[in-house]
Structure formats: structure tokens, C-alpha cells
């Protein structure tokens, strides 16, 4: 049965070479393809279907909080990009420039949006006049371009898909509340849809977004112990409003500047799902984002009644995303393929099962096999998918806890990263010198100052001076 393992054979073990394992999965599970366009990828049907499920569920959550979708241009005139000083300094080095259009050199070059704060400011300046026009709570689903040197599928590419929310509020308090509200939406989505536990916290001054007053983040831990920033929410205060002149007439008839936020999640979430849940057999998808949730695989499908029963089951399971694999491949090959694609459960049904009025349900994550009476297959399949969704989150949480360490001083800090990779909790005095020194020595960055602070000690892990914050540190994607 050499061909049984065809899809799996070429996969590198994750313990041997995690980066290669990741690359093998994105190719073998047919999520992406490389292109002639350097640093850009094709998101193939299996990959894009995951993105559609992410979009739908995230978008529904946005709309529940009053978000409205819009679409703004993909180009930013250079003069517009330059209006906010910190912002242009942060992005100018990594943008792509359009200099010719319609056969002529442009009078002003246009940058392909790396993010759209400047365009939303230009828009809000037009539509906001009075306090009655606030808040503005818009979002767009689009692609953005950042001219990265080193690229990796989903994690870092020159063009990627994302959503970017941009809001304008009457007061600083309203803006801060919306910033935190969206961070909470992201955390809830990561945990309850992607089954990825996250640490909520604030970025340090050094790590915050270009032009923001405060950047909040959700940080996740991958299977290899590296961190992945999985969603960010920024409070801009009135900095952009002042740079762009976005003012409104308040109830007291005075002119005031608006307060703004922005927040984004990207296709890198698919990379996170792979690296949190995947195993040496391939992808493992949480049921809520699995394009196919149930793969019915007939055994000895040429025997009378087997295929009929398989399709009957498919009809009965129509509340789920379900398919029957009736190709002429061997069952072993089909199992391997279903495992590679990360389909949450497969149902095996053959002549003996028919006789006994049962089938076998096999969970992708634990590979546990469960015999189920055909009379209760709908209920059982639903229960197993629910259980799997919950247990995948709990397993990831346990993994994170097992790979979270505490350092009181630099010796401990070095010792941990000499042997392990994971989150390190350590106190920090708040000055950038220590942050820079830690990065230089250990090649780790501050991931966030978590909302749930613990007082590990009263001294900075680096300089020993009085500590202000506990920080999560880690090597990051």
C-alpha cells in the first residue's frame, strides 16, 4: 500500500525541522502555491475557504458591535501619507510606489496602501462635521502591501489579506473603550473560533504602532515555542485628527478634534492555526473554521449498499459541512488525505458496519476511534465536533502553560533561552535601554505588558532597578 502514504510521505517531522514541517503542510494540504511574483502567494481553494470562514465569523462579531463595512482606494498620494510624521517614518521604508499610469509618469507618486489610516482620515475629515456624525465605526476587508525582504506563506508576505477597522469618536474615553472592545472581540474570536488561547496586553513604546498613543495586542504561542502577534488594536488619541484637521462642532458649539482607533487581523491567522494545532500527519483544523467538517469514507465501496449508505449519511448530516470521498483511491490513501487536510472527523462505513447498524467516527486531533450507532450519528457527530473544538483550545492552553517560564534576573533569562523556547514572564523597569539590551543579548522581544499583571519581583530583570510592569518576552514570528 505504498500509495496510501503518498500525501504524507514528504512531510518533515515537526521535531526535526519545524520551519520545513510548516512549509510542507502549506503545500501538501494545498493551502497555497508560490507565484512568479516575488514574495506573493496564491491562496488556493482549500486555504481560501478557511479565510472565508474566518471572515464570516469575525465580520458577524464586528457587526454586532455596530461596525459598518466600506471600501477605500488602494492608493495613497505621497503628500497624504506624509501628513502624520511618526506614521510615515514607520511605513515609508516598506512601501511600493506607483509612478506610471495610463502611459504617463504621474505628477505625484502613489503608494500602494500598507495600511489605510491616512485615507480614513481624509474620508472622516469630509464626513464628520458635528457631534451627531460621531462615532464613525468603519471597517474594510482588503489586501495591503509591505515590501518585506524575507517572506513566508501566511506569516509574512509582500501582499496579504486583512481587515482594518478605523473609528473616530467624540472623546478620548470613547476611543479607548472602542480600542479595548475590539481587542476583546479578537481574543474571543481567537479562543472560541480558532481554539487559540491568547495573552491580552499592551505593547511597549518601542513595539507600538507608528503614530499610535497605545497599541494593544493578543499574543499566541506556537507549537515550537515562538510567539505570534495575532491581532492588534490601536488608540491614536487625537494625533491623526490634528495632523489631518478632523474637527467637529460639539453640543457646546465649540470645535473639537476627534479621537481615533484602528484594529486589524490578517491571513497570518491561518499560519497560527497551522502552528498551534498541526501535527506530523498534517493540518488539524478547529471545526468552526474547517471548510469540510466531516469526511465520510466508504470501505469496500463497491459492495452493495455501502455508497448508498454513505450518501444517505451525508444527507442526514446536512447541518454540517460534509463530503463523501467516493474516489477510486484506497481507504488508506483517503484517510491520509483527510488527515493531511485537517478535516476534523472522518466517518468510516463498510459492509460490516452496515450489518451491525453502526459506523466508526475518528477524531483528527486525538485520532480516537468511536463506534456510533447509525441511529444517532447526527447527534454524536455534533457532540464530537463540539468536544473537539473545546479540547483543542484546552490542549493549546496547556501547551502554552507548559512553555511559559519566569525569570528574575538575566542569568535565569539566559538559562531559559539556552535550552527552551516559550514565553518568559519577567519584570521590567520601563526604559527602552533594558528592552534593547534584552533583544540584543537573547534575541527576544517584549511581546506585551499583559492586562493580568503578576508581581514576580520588584526589580527589573535586566537592570535591577525598581520594576514597573511584568512583561511577556519571546522569540516572535
The Cα 118–Cα 135 span in angstroms is 18
Which residue number, 110 or 462, has a Cβ lying nearer to its own copies? 110
Using rule CB under 8 A, residue 89 touches its own copies: no
From 33-41, 176-184, 190-198, 368-376, give the range in contact with its own copies by CB under 8 A.
Answer: 33-41
Using rule CB under 8 A, residue 100 touches its own copies: yes
Using rule CB under 8 A, residue 88 touches its own copies: no
Per residue, the 3-state secondary structure of 419-467, as one string, reads: HCCCEEEEEECCCHHHHHHHHHHHCCEEEEEECCCCCCCCECCCCCCEC
Using rule CB under 8 A, residue 10 touches its own copies: no
Q: Which of 4, 23, 49, 156 binds its own copies (CB under 8 A)?
A: 49
Taking the complex as a whole, the smallest distance from the CB of residue 156 to its own copies amounts, in Å, to 13
Using rule CB under 8 A, residue 333 touches its own copies: no
Using rule CB under 8 A, residue 53 touches its own copies: no
Which residue number, 109 or 256, has a Cβ lying nearer to its own copies? 109
The Cα 164–Cα 239 span in angstroms is 19
The DSSP secondary structure of 141-180, one letter per residue, reads EEEEE---SS-BTTTB-SEEEEEEEEEEESSHHHHHHHHH
Which residue number, 79 or 373, has a Cβ lying nearer to its own copies? 79
Taking the complex as a whole, the smallest distance from the CB of residue 342 to its own copies amounts, in Å, to 17
Find where cell 472560541 sits. Answer: 192
Whose CA is closest to 259, among 168, 350, 177? Answer: 168
Which residue number, 182 or 396, has a Cβ lying nearer to its own copies? 182
The count of residues interacting with its own copies (CB under 8 A) is: 54
Strands 345-349 and 294-298: parallel
Whose CA is closest to 380, among 364, 392, 393, 362? Answer: 362
C-alpha grid cell for residue 464?
535591577
Q: Which of 14, 58, 76, 183 binds its own copies (CB under 8 A)?
A: 76
What mask of x and - would describe binding to its own copies in positions 124 to 153, judged by CB under 8 A? Answer: --xx----------x---xx-x-xxx----
Whose CA is closest to 286, among 160, 163, 190? Answer: 190
User: Coil, helix or strand for 327?
Assistant: coil
From 2-10, 38-46, 434-442, 466-474, give the range in contact with its own copies by CB under 8 A.
Answer: 38-46
What are the distances in angstroms from CA 219 to CA 470, 473, 475?
15, 10, 12
Which residue number, 108 or 419, has a Cβ lying nearer to its own copies? 108
Using rule CB under 8 A, residue 154 touches its own copies: no
Q: Which of 12, 61, 90, 96 binds its own copies (CB under 8 A)?
A: 96
The Cα 401–Cα 22 span in angstroms is 23
Taking the complex as a whole, the smallest distance from the CB of residue 49 to its own copies amounts, in Å, to 7
Q: Which of 1, 36, 150, 357 binds its own copies (CB under 8 A)?
A: 36
The DSSP secondary structure of 185-223, one letter per residue, reads HHHHHHHHTS----EEEE--TTTS-TT-SEEEEEEEE-T
Which residue number, 44 or 397, has a Cβ lying nearer to its own copies? 44
Instruction: Give the DSSP H/E element, type plus range, for residue 401.
Output: helix 377-402
Q: Which of 9, 10, 19, 70 binds its own copies (CB under 8 A)?
A: 70
Q: Which of 20, 35, 129, 330 binds its own copies (CB under 8 A)?
A: 35
User: Coil, helix or strand for 48?
Assistant: helix
C-alpha grid cell for residue 23?
512549509
Using rule CB under 8 A, residue 37 touches its own copies: yes
The Cα 20–Cα 411 span in angstroms is 32
Using rule CB under 8 A, residue 66 touches its own copies: no
What residues line the site for its own copies (CB under 8 A)?
Answer: 33, 35-37, 40-45, 48-49, 51-52, 68-77, 80, 93-103, 109-110, 112, 119, 122-123, 126-127, 138, 142-143, 145, 147-149, 158-159, 161
Amino acid at each position: 500500500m505504498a500509495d496510501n502514504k503518498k500525501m504524507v510521505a514528504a512531510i518533515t517531522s515537526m521535531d526535526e525541522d519545524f520551519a520545513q514541517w510548516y512549509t510542507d503542510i502549506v503545500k501538501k494540504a494545498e493551502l497555497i502555491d508560490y507565484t512568479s511574483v516575488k514574495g506573493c502567494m496564491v491562496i488556493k481553494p482549500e486555504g481560501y475557504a478557511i479565510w472565508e470562514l474566518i471572515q464570516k465569523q469575525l465580520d458577524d462579531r464586528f457587526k454586532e458591535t455596530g461596525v459598518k463595512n466600506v471600501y477605500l482606494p488602494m492608493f495613497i498620494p505621497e503628500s497624504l501619507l506624509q501628513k502624520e510624521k511618526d506614521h510615515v517614518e514607520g511605513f515609508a521604508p516598506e512601501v511600493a510606489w506607483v509612478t506610471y499610469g495610463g502611459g504617463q509618469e504621474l505628477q505625484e507618486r502613489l503608494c500602494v496602501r500598507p495600511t489605510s489610516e491616512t485615507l480614513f482620515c481624509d474620508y472622516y475629515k469630509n464626513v464628520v462635521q458635528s457631534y451627531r456624525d460621531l462615532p464613525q465605526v468603519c471597517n474594510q476587508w482588503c489586501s495591503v502591501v509591505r515590501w518585506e525582504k524575507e517572506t513566508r506563506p501566511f506569516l509574512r508576505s509582500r501582499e496579504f489579506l486583512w481587515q482594518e477597522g478605523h473609528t473616530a469618536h467624540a472623546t478620548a474615553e470613547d476611543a479607548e473603550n472602542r480600542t479595548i472592545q475590539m481587542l476583546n472581540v479578537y481574543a474571543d474570536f481567537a479562543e472560541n473560533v480558532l481554539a487559540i488561547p491568547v495573552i491580552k496586553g499592551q505593547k511597549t513604546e518601542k513595539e507600538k504602532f507608528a503614530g499610535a498613543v497605545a497599541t494593544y495586542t493578543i499574543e499566541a504561542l506556537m507549537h515550537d515555542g515562538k510567539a505570534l502577534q495575532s491581532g492588534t488594536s490601536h488608540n491614536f488619541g487625537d494625533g491623526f485628527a490634528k495632523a489631518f484637521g478632523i474637527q467637529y462642532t460639539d453640543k457646546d458649539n465649540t470645535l473639537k478634534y476627534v479621537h481615533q482607533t484602528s484594529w486589524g487581523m490578517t491571513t497570518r491567522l491561518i499560519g497560527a492555526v497551522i502552528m498551534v494545532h498541526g501535527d506530523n500527519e498534517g493540518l488539524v483544523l478547529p471545526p468552526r473554521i474547517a471548510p469540510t467538517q466531516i469526511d465520510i469514507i466508504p470501505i469496500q465501496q463497491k459492495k452493495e449498499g455501502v455508497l448508498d449508505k454513505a450518501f444517505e449519511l451525508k444527507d442526514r448530516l446536512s447541518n454540517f459541512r460534509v463530503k463523501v470521498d467516493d474516489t477510486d483511491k484506497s481507504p488508506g490513501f483517503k484517510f491520509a488525505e483527510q488527515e493531511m487536510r485537517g478535516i476534523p472527523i472522518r466517518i468510516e462505513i463498510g459492509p460490516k458496519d452496515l450489518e451491525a447498524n453502526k459506523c466508526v467516527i475518528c477524531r483528527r486531533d486525538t485520532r480516537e476511534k468511536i463506534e456510533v450507532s447509525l441511529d444517532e450519528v447526527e447527534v454524536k457527530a455534533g457532540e464530537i465536533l463540539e468536544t473537539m473544538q473545546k479540547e483543542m483550545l484546552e490542549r493549546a492552553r496547556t501547551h502554552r502553560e507548559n512553555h511559559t517560564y519566569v525569570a528574575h534576573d538575566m542569568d535565569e533569562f539566559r538559562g531559559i533561552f539556552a535550552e527552551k523556547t516559550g514565553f518568559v514572564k519577567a519584570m521590567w523597569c520601563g526604559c527602552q535601554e533594558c528592552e534593547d539590551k534584552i533583544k540584543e543579548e537573547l534575541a527576544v522581544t517584549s511581546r506585551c505588558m499583559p492586562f493580568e499583571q503578576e508581581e514576580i519581583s520588584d526589580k527589573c530583570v535586566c537592570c535591577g532597578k525598581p520594576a514597573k510592569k511584568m512583561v511577556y518576552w519571546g522569540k516572535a514570528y
